[in-house]
Structure 1
Amino acid sequence: MHPLSVMNQEFLARGWNRKPTGRLLSELAFHLSLALGGLAVVAFSRVLLLDVLGVLLSTMGSLGISTNTHTSSHYATSNRRWVNRALTYFGYPLFLGMSATYWWQKHVAVHHPTPNVIGLDDDADLLPTFTLTTRDVAQARGLRRWWFEHQWLVIFFAIAFNALNVVQTGVRYLVGCLRDPKRRTKAHVYDALMLVGHVTLWLVVPSFFFGPLPVLALYGVRVVLLGYAIFIAFAPAHFPEEAAFLDREGRERAEYFRKADFILLQTSTTLNFRTGFFGRLFCAGVDYQIEHHLFPGYSHVYYPRMSRILKRFCEENGYPYRTLGWWEAVWKSLVVFRRPKPVYPRLTGLRGARLATESQERRAPELLAGQEQVA
């Protein structure tokens, strides 16, 4: 029996397959209250300090909505499929302005099976503007080479456009699907209606009460801060040097799936990061990315308890299992723009590496021993 099946049976015996729908909806309500309450403070306050506080609180609430919706997008909030889909439509297109169907395609269908696989996972490919790999730097020439070597000077400011980039990329994807009868489904229509609802609720209606310029200004600040919030929540799992970048093994994705060791693929390219109580509340499981990548259908509520079993399994079977401090992981996610990572051609050799000790695992170069760097 496959090791994941064995662990899954243990998780089922402990009742961790049950969806804590009430708790997750309560958390969503808290984040929603924080997001809207912060905006209300900005709308009616005449004190600058309160305005700043309101914007920050609203950003925290919006981050919580994005990570809570992330759980719903994996159908882990409720046993009812339609509830998960409705919550995804609410959280992403209606509230945050991000296409739900694009998220299901980019994140669920592609990223999860092939995390950090260059050529398959777009989350690891920031070309043509930025690069995270030494291969791209080595292949670049002239001004392009100079830019890649100095990209770190502007990356902090570029993150401000992170959320906007997700929005516009999702809109382009959705428009392409809507225009193609062979790709268009009811889901794309629902997605488009929710995006129209987002523009109406966040821009059109408020403009009648507060004027278009103040509304646009506040919306712009919100998008910028959300870009930073998304980065510090999602980048630490795959950007730091400890999370390996892999080259696709074969020209077709099916060939890659056939050859890959699924557990090794997930654990060698994915990291956890430590948070406290409030961090876990706002991250909603993205801080336990190893557990999430191996068992995405489980609610994030159970990840801390699952982690003890999974870490022991990895230690006993030679799979990497790395956990960084949150701010350490954020810092390393920025450093990779200064010191890009190599792309390794295959998984062979990674499984034999033993998990480093807690003090050593933050470097863990031995996990990549025996791999040949692609120039």
Structure 2
Amino acid sequence: MSNPLKFKDKNRSQFFPTVRKRVDAYFVENALSTHANRAMWAKSSFFLIGYATLYGLILSNQFGLWTMLGLAIVLGMFAAFIGFNVSHDGLHGSFSGRSWVNRLMGNSFYILGANPYIWKITHNIVHHTYTNIPGHDEDIELAPGLVRLDSQEDLRPWHRYQQWYTFPLYALASLSWVLRKDFLKFFKSKIGHHDNSSHPRAEYIKLFVSKTIYYICFLVLPYVILDLTWWQLVIGFVLMHVAEGLVLGLVFQLAHAVEGTDFPIPDERGDIQSAWAVHQMHTTANFAPDSAMAAFLCGGLNRQIEHHLFPKVCHIHYPAISKIVKETAHEFGLPYLENRSFGSALVSHFRLLRTLGQVESTKPGEHTILPLTQRVPEPSL
């Protein structure tokens, strides 16, 4: 049974038709493809070649323990950057107009130990449709019971400290993904309220074969080839995933869990009383929009607003279309949420976690985010 939640656009908002028409016109007038350009191919090659090179250097057994540990940490970061810059666009079908190219790029997820098939369900279908809606978007369920982002969840004594212990949990995200999360999601009957009970037989084979190959490449081969004890190997493997998890966790959370983003609760009929695109403007935020480094490393995910409105457009074009989106949002009286730097977004995320760790449950139909005047003071970071 599919998710019954519906977006009720009673006001007949013209925001999305207008912004879509203007963005389409931008590509036509400039004779541009919405897919990857040379710069996109260049940086994708950089991250893929860099990842292979780092892995090869580690297996060369030509370095000392501390050097190999450093290489493993950088390898974990490159894994996250491949996820952002290559896999993500491929899985959204925005990398190329050719489906086989998108499949190839999306399948780069396998070399990171992740499953692209289950990701497309949890992210493309569920998260992009039901963004920040408690009980529907499982991406905001960081650690059920431990981290509170749902205003209707019972407030527990430990939640008052969640702004401190949530960040270390991000470090475990990649490790959990590789060892546990994909299996758990694959065999769940529902993801949010999405029916997940039936999968093609080929996907069962791909899941177990790809995981086995990954474990062989990153646990068995290094143990056989390198002059390492088992516990030294485990430390390197864990720290590689700690680095990857921190990068992944922070980038994704700074786009949806900062001050100003909404966590709307469906009404008594299970509906959201706004247009889908309007909902995206209330639940999504950008960070470091003027940073060339953020754009290069984060695969456009620092411009999450543009990504949620136009997931079929390659992220290399987000800086250009962001001007159109921002102007149109202001024209229609809609929020365009952004933190000017990575640091300010990080502090905002911290404050939001602290606020939600102290605020009692709200009723259906109420908003999670407190007015600015009621928020807790800014922490000294």
TM range (shorter): 0.7 to 0.9
Determine if the alignment matches structure 1 residue 131 to structure 2 residue 148: yes
- Paired letter, 2:185: Y
Confirm or deny: 8 A CA contact 1:37 1:58 kept in the other structure: no
Distance of 1:221 and 1:336 partners within structure 2: 28
Aligned partner of 2:134 among 118, 122, 131 = 118
Shift of 1:134: 4.1
- Paired letter, 1:221: L
Aligned partner of 1:172 among 177, 184, 209 = 184
Corresponding position of 2:3: none
Seen in structure 2, the aligned counterparts of structure 1 residues 300 and 181 have a Cα distance that, compared at 3 Å, is closer
Distance of 2:302 and 2:363 partners within structure 1: 25
Corresponding position of 1:227: 245
TM (normalized to structure 2)? 0.79
Corresponding position of 1:290: 305
Gaps of 5+ in 1: 351-362, 367-375
Confirm or deny: 8 A CA contact 2:152 2:363 kept in the other structure: no
Aligned partner of 2:170 among 159, 162, 168 = 159
- Paired letter, 2:177: V
Confirm or deny: 8 A CA contact 2:34 2:94 kept in the other structure: no
Higher relative contact order by CA 8 Å / sep ≥ 6: 1 or 2? 2
Determine if the alignment matches structure 1 residue 265 to structure 2 residue 273: no
Corresponding position of 1:46: 64
What is the DSSP-based 3-state SS (H/G/I as helix, E as strand, rest coil) of the residue aligned with 1:112?
helix
Residue correspondence of structure 1 range 1-375 to structure 2 within 5 A: 2-13=17-28, 14-20=30-36, 22-39=38-55, 43-46=61-64, 48=66, 50-51=67-68, 53-68=70-85, 69-90=87-108, 92=109, 94-126=110-142, 127-136=144-153, 139-140=154-155, 145-167=156-178, 168-175=180-187, 182-210=198-226, 211=228, 213=230, 214-249=232-267, 255-256=271-272, 259-274=273-288, 276-324=291-339, 325-340=341-356, 365=372
Confirm or deny: 8 A CA contact 1:16 1:302 kept in the other structure: no
Distance of 1:230 and 1:22 partners within structure 2: 25
Distance of 1:21 and 1:197 partners within structure 2: 32
Shift of 1:327: 1.5
Shift of 1:135: 3.3
CA distances 1:34-91 after superposition (whole Å, capped 9, x unpaired)? 334445555532273x45643443233222101021111101111111221222222x
- Paired letter, 1:165: S
Seen in structure 2, the aligned counterparts of structure 1 residues 346 and 293 have a Cα distance that, compared at 3 Å, is farther
Distance of 1:26 and 1:188 partners within structure 2: 34
Task: Give identity over the alignment, percent.
Answer: 21
CA distances 1:123-163 after superposition (whole Å, capped 9, x unpaired)? 12232222124432xx34xxxx2112233342232222121
Seen in structure 2, the aligned counterparts of structure 1 residues 188 and 11 have a Cα distance that, compared at 3 Å, is farther
Distance of 1:241 and 1:118 partners within structure 2: 17
Seen in structure 2, the aligned counterparts of structure 1 residues 345 and 176 have a Cα distance that, compared at 3 Å, is closer
Seen in structure 2, the aligned counterparts of structure 1 residues 20 and 207 have a Cα distance that, compared at 3 Å, is same
CA distances 1:228-261 after superposition (whole Å, capped 9, x unpaired)? 1112221110011211111124555xx54xx531
Shift of 1:181: 8.6
What is the DSSP-based 3-state SS (H/G/I as helix, E as strand, rest coil) of the residue aligned with 2:336?
coil
Distance of 2:55 and 2:133 partners within structure 1: 39
Distance of 1:133 and 1:318 partners within structure 2: 26
Distance of 1:174 and 1:201 partners within structure 2: 23
RMSD: 3.0
What is the DSSP-based 3-state SS (H/G/I as helix, E as strand, rest coil) of the residue aligned with 2:129?
coil
What is the DSSP-based 3-state SS (H/G/I as helix, E as strand, rest coil) of the residue aligned with 1:287?
helix
Seen in structure 2, the aligned counterparts of structure 1 residues 343 and 287 have a Cα distance that, compared at 3 Å, is farther
Greater displacement, 69-78 / 188-197:
188-197
Greater displacement, 322-331 / 192-201:
192-201
Gaps of 5+ in 2: 1-13, 190-195, 374-381
Shift of 1:182: 3.8
Confirm or deny: 8 A CA contact 2:107 2:116 kept in the other structure: yes
Greater displacement, 15-24 / 116-125:
15-24
Seen in structure 2, the aligned counterparts of structure 1 residues 364 and 283 have a Cα distance that, compared at 3 Å, is farther
Shift of 1:343: 6.4
- Paired letter, 1:273: F
Shift of 1:29: 2.2
Seen in structure 2, the aligned counterparts of structure 1 residues 163 and 104 have a Cα distance that, compared at 3 Å, is same
TM (normalized to structure 1)? 0.80
CA distances 1:190-242 after superposition (whole Å, capped 9, x unpaired)? 34332222122222222210256133321111111111111222111001121
Distance of 1:36 and 1:182 partners within structure 2: 35
Distance of 2:237 and 2:220 partners within structure 1: 12
Greater displacement, 58-67 / 25-34:
25-34
Distance of 1:181 and 1:116 partners within structure 2: 23
Q: How many residues align?
A: 338
Seen in structure 2, the aligned counterparts of structure 1 residues 22 and 171 have a Cα distance that, compared at 3 Å, is farther
